Structure 1
Amino acid sequence: MRDAVNKLWPEIQWIENPKLREKVAQTWVKALERSLLKPEDLNRIPFTLLVPNCPVTFMEHKRCVVHIARQSAEAMQEFMGRSLPVNLDTVIAGAILADVGKLLEYEIGPDGKSRQSERGEALRHPFTGVALALECGIPDDVCHVIAAHAAEGDLVKRTTEAFIVHHADFMAFLPFKNPKNVKAR
């Protein structure tokens, strides 16, 4: 399973702290072991069930979010880092783990289409993602990013790192809500 995680997530190598890097990889291993989805499913299922006929896969979306978050954090460090410090490892780890709980929230139905699992109906992915991350020893600042990246985070005071990942995620989601933005495949 570790080889599958390494193949899915070359961006894990961007995390400078080796202990955090290992814990992030281990969280993905644990999620895949508990998921009804297979690693290869992540390259074909839609990243969201909220957009009908979503043309972007889970991994396309996830990797895009990680890249947007990293580049945004680097720009913020360059121009505002003196006044607003940004922990790049926390941003990258949080972005990589933000949707790890979807592996427990999604399943593939008998019709071959993605759907919300019974667990997913009860617990959205920020909750299951934090549970997986805590089990693997992910630090609280990264768990905060996972917890606060979606709408659930609107009720807490987000850290700078959580704001970065939240906005990166929504940048790669909200344009799909307007069908005029989407090019048919």
Structure 2
Amino acid sequence: MEHKDIKKVMDLASPVSNLPKTRNIGDIKNLEPGERFRAVVALTAAKQRRDKNDRIFWEVSVMDSFGNLEAKVWSDAKWWNAKNGNKEPMVAENINPQEDLLNKPVGVIGVVTEFKGRLQYNFNEVYLLDPGKHPISSFLQKSPVPLAEMEKNFWSIVEKCGDPVKGFLHFVFRGDLWETFRDAPAAVSHHHAYVHGLLEHTLAVASSAIAIGESYVARDFPVDMDTLIAGALLHDLGKVEAYSLEPFPSMTLKGTVIDHIPLGYARFINLASEYDLCEDVTLAVGHIIISHHGRKEYGSPVLPATPEALIVSMADELDFILHCWEATGVQGDGEITDFSYSAQRRFWKRSATKDKKGE
């Protein structure tokens, strides 16, 4: 989207012919070293640093509805206050990140560089913009899956269950809790860290878990599909308290000091008691919630000990790892990615142009 007012301000700084094309973050990540860009984004994090010559520079994170980007603003960059439609120079040393930058809209002119074999994004000019003309909500990244489609799929999964599980799921996902769950991110970073991310992740886990469970049922393996579905849909229930949109995905105090697994288990037990869910189902589904991270070092106080808990845990881990594979970039013409600290490995991204027979 072209932002005419910021383009006009930027035109004052450079001849129109020298201005780079306006890009979104998704496009910027596909640029090559040396290519310039212009963008209007929300600044979500800013840390003031000093280089080896004791000059101030900034490490910043920005966001638009297409993704997130980490960038540098070096000491020779120009800062402008353009909130009133004109450009007024700013001194970097006098900028207060909390008041002037965080969760604020900015216009940037930058360039892609390469440092130690990795792409780096440098902002050469930063324009502080009027939040009234550039509301933060317009920069929020949302799930790429249409919300109506996800809601339809969610309730079709619920309808696969019989009572008491189906009735209980309708009881849980209603009113304010459904709206919060539907809109919540699944994380601050790593995976599904955007609006509707929790719903997208939950559906992915439930769909995989159902497919695995049904394959074992077909072989006469004793998998309770109602319990499996309930556990899959409820496994991250605690994230409605652990994460928030303020306005961007962030961790709450409860999420920081307690974490989503115990928060989700506590909420589930309260809801089960309020609904008068039978003890056997409560225990089986509660076990899935409390064990779904699969390992104690990953935050689960107990290990999965039932077929349903094992399947949900594996489906949850798979969705997380595959999302890391998708999000981790390859530099240059190679097929091996940078090291993913979230997944604790490098990934192999086989070239799509290669014949699968190796020819």
TM-score tier after normalising by the smaller chain length: 0.7 to 0.9
Q: Indicate which of 23, 30, 47 corresponds to 2:168.
A: 23
One-letter amino acid of the structure 1 residue matched with residue 200 of structure 2? E
> Aligned equivalents of 1:78 and 1:67: distance in 2?
17
Matched residue SS, 1:14:
coil
Alignment partner, residue 205 of structure 2? 65
CA-CA distance at 1:154 after TM superposition:
6.9
Superposition map of 1:85-164 within 5 A = 85-109=222-246, 112-137=247-272, 138=277, 139-150=282-293, 151-153=298-300, 155-164=302-311
> Aligned equivalents of 2:266 and 2:205: distance in 1?
21
Structure-2 change in CA distance of 1:53 and 1:130 (3 Å)? closer
Give ranges in structure 2 of 5+ residues lacking alignment: 1-150, 330-346, 350-359
Alignment partner, residue 190 of structure 2? 51
RMSD: 2.8
1:13 to 2:159 alignment: yes
Q: Is the 8 A contact 1:30 1:132 kept in 2?
A: no
> Between Structure 1 and Structure 2, whose CA radius of gyration is higher?
2
> Aligned equivalents of 1:177 and 1:131: distance in 2?
29
Structure-2 change in CA distance of 1:73 and 1:114 (3 Å)? same
Structure-2 change in CA distance of 1:59 and 1:162 (3 Å)? same
CA-CA distance at 1:153 after TM superposition:
3.3
> Aligned equivalents of 1:20 and 1:30: distance in 2?
18
Structure-2 change in CA distance of 1:53 and 1:68 (3 Å)? closer
Alignment partner, residue 32 of structure 1? 177
CA-CA distance at 1:165 after TM superposition:
0.2
> Aligned equivalents of 2:321 and 2:193: distance in 1?
12
Once the two structures are aligned, what percentage of the paired residues are identical?
22
One-letter amino acid of the structure 2 residue matched with residue 14 of structure 1? K
> Aligned equivalents of 1:91 and 1:53: distance in 2?
22
> Aligned equivalents of 1:8 and 1:113: distance in 2?
26
Aligned residues: 165
Q: Is the 8 A contact 2:192 2:201 kept in 1?
A: no
CA displacement 1:28-55 (0-9 Å, x = unmatched): 348718xxx735524xx3x222417857
CA-CA distance at 1:168 after TM superposition:
0.6
One-letter amino acid of the structure 1 residue matched with residue 207 of structure 2? H
> Aligned equivalents of 1:74 and 1:156: distance in 2?
22
Superposition map of 1:66-81 within 5 A = 66-79=206-219, 81=221
Alignment partner, residue 174 of structure 1? 321
Structure-2 change in CA distance of 1:171 and 1:125 (3 Å)? same
One-letter amino acid of the structure 2 residue matched with residue 77 of structure 1? V
* TM-score where L is the length of structure 1: 0.76
One-letter amino acid of the structure 1 residue matched with residue 202 of structure 2? K
Structure-2 change in CA distance of 1:141 and 1:38 (3 Å)? closer
* TM-score where L is the length of structure 2: 0.41
**Structure with larger RCO (C-alpha < 8 A, sep 6+):** 1
Q: Is the 8 A contact 2:292 2:309 kept in 1?
A: yes
Structure-2 change in CA distance of 1:52 and 1:129 (3 Å)? closer
CA-CA distance at 1:99 after TM superposition:
0.7
